[in-house]
């Protein structure tokens, strides 16, 4: 490694890219995942769509209670 580096011609932020949206993974218990995966398959929909639908209904219930 050099003792000194010349940054006089450097361009600040040249390689900076704003961070995208962070997707947080959700891990289901195997029993829960298997149950809803079978239900989703029977309804010919994706597991993610089914879980989102269930969570939206839960959100509505919580809003009504609060």
Is the pTM of the predicted complex or chain greater than 0.95? no
Q: Are 36 and 47 in contact (CB under 8 A)?
A: yes
Domain boundaries, the chain: 30-65
pLDDT digits (tens, 9 = 90+) for 20-62: 888 889 999 999 999 999 999 999 999 999 999 999 999 999 9
Nearest Cα neighbor of 50 from 39, 62, 34 is: 39
Q: Residue 53 and residue 47: Cα distance in Å, rounded? A: 10
């Amino acid at each position: 490694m050099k003792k000194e580096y010349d940054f006089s011609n450097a361009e600040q932020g040249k390689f900076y890219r704003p961070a995208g949206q962070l997707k947080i993974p959700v891990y289901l218990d195997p029993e829960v995942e298997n149950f809803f995966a079978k239900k989703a398959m029977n309804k010919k929909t994706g597991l993610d769509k089914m879980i989102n639908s269930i969570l939206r209904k839960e959100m509505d219930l919580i809003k009504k209670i609060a």
